[in-house]
């Protein structure tokens, strides 16, 4: 089962592992690249717990007494670890978004490049899929998804066209969906369809809500001095991560004292996000949009 090289592998694990005897969590196991690198840095006393909700990822499990793979969405981070008697950890790594394997598995419906059933579920056991979103959601709800998750300015128009078309024929496949918007100029199609698919995928998998829940739980279970390392791939994710690392919030402003100071949740390891070198982008095109941020719990 093909999984591309993990993005920003050395940098992310360098930032993460500060105690070889510690307990670490990789909340996005995928092909196991980051997890294998973390295990190389741990002593015999160290432990690694990894999460993945995708059943395909279980085939990559690592035979190592220090390693446990948990088949769960990372939004259940805290409770899942408590089941193993773990209430505090030294570091948490999250490599967000869709794995290259999920994009490459045409039948999953994530890719704009191949015709497949409208699915896009990271957890194939869940009920909601892309077909239900496109065919059952009300026009206003669809427009909100395209606007907020796809950052598409013509969101209302797109939703109206989908609702008008599905009255006569259900939209079943990725190609059915793309045909509705065949009028988009060829030079704009790649970006446009990437935004449409991203919006639907985020809704299907509740990605931003799950991310917020995981970040809040990460802060609770990290030991003081513990590290949270997050690699994101689009501005919606990165904005949430950046704000959370800055002040422990996703919106609004923190309470300040009379001097204008506020309690920080994390100290940033670097003030600016780390981005991949050109050589890594050439090797793995998925790295192009990656941004890595690391916070040290205060």
3-class DSSP string for the chain? CCCCCCCCHHHHHHHHCCCCCCEEEECCCCCCHHHHHHHHHCCCCCEEEEECCCHHHHHHCCCCCCEEEECCCHHHHHHHHHCCCCCCEEEEEEECCCCHHHHHCHHHCCCCCCCCECCCCCCCCCCCCHHHHHHHCCHHHHHHHHHHHHCCCCHHHHHHHHHHHHCCCCCCEHHHHHHHCCCCCHHHHHHHHHHHHHHHHHHHHCHHHHHHHHHHHHHHHEEEEEEEEEEECCHHHHHHHHHHHHHCCCCCCCCCCCCCCCCCCEEECCCCCECCCHHHHHHCHHHHHCEEEEEEEC
Structure tokens at 54: 């995708």
User: Closest by alpha carbon to 157, among 173, 172, 146, 171?
Assistant: 146
| Residues β-bridged to residue 67 | 48
Longest Cα–Cα distance of the chain, Å, equals 63
pLDDT averaged over the chain? 94
Q: Tens digits of per-residue pLDDT, 106-128?
A: 678 788 888 999 999 998 999 99
- Least confident range from 106-120, 145-159, 171-185, 254-268: namely 106-120
State how far Cα 136 lies from the chain centre: 25
Distance in angstroms between the alpha carbons of the first and the last residue of the chain: 40
- In the prediction, which pLDDT does 134 show? 98
Predicted local confidence at residue 105, as pLDDT: 66
- Percentage with pLDDT > 70 across the chain: 96
Judge whether 15 and 40 are in contact, CB under 8 Å.
no
pTM beyond cutoff 0.95: no
Which of these ranges, 107-121, 122-136, 255-269, has the smallest mean pLDDT? 107-121
* 102 pLDDT more than 80: no
* pLDDT of residue 224 exceeding 60: yes
Q: What is the mean pLDDT of residues 279-295?
A: 92
The answer to whether 181 and 159 have CB atoms below 8 angstroms apart is no
């Amino acid at each position: 089962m093909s999984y591309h090289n993990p993005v920003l592998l050395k940098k992310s694990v360098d930032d993460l592992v500060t105690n070889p005897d510690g307990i670490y969590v990789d909340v996005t196991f995928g092909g196991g690249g980051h997890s294998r690198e973390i295990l190389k840095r741990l002593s015999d006393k160290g432990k690694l717990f990894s999460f993945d909700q995708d059943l395909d990822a279980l085939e990559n499990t690592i035979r190592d007494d220090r390693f446990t793979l948990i088949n769960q969405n990372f939004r259940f981070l805290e409770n899942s670890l408590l089941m193993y008697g773990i209430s505090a950890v030294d570091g948490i790594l999250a490599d967000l978004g869709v794995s290259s394997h999920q994009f490459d598995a045409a039948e999953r419906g994530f890719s704009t490049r191949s015709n497949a059933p409208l699915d896009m579920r990271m957890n194939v056991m869940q009920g909601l899929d892309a077909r239900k979103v496109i065919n059952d959601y009300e026009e206003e709800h669809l427009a909100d998804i395209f606007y907020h998750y796809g950052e598409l300015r013509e969101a209302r128009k797109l939703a109206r066209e989908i609702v008008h078309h599905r009255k006569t024929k259900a939209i079943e496949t990725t190609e059915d969906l793309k045909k509705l918007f065949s009028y988009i100029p060829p030079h704009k199609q790649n970006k446009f369809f990437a935004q449409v698919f991203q919006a639907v995928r985020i809704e299907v998998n509740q990605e931003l809500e799950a991310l917020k829940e995981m970040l809040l739980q990460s802060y609770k279970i990290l030991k003081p001095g513990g590290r949270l390392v997050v690699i994101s791939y689009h501005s919606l994710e990165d904005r949430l991560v950046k704000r959370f690392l800055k002040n422990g919030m996703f919106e609004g402003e923190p309470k300040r004292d009379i001097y204008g100071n506020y309690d920080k949740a994390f100290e940033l390891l670097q003030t600016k996000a780390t981005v991949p070198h050109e050589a890594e982008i050439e090797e793995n095109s998925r790295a192009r949009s990656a941004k890595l941020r690391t916070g040290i719990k205060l």
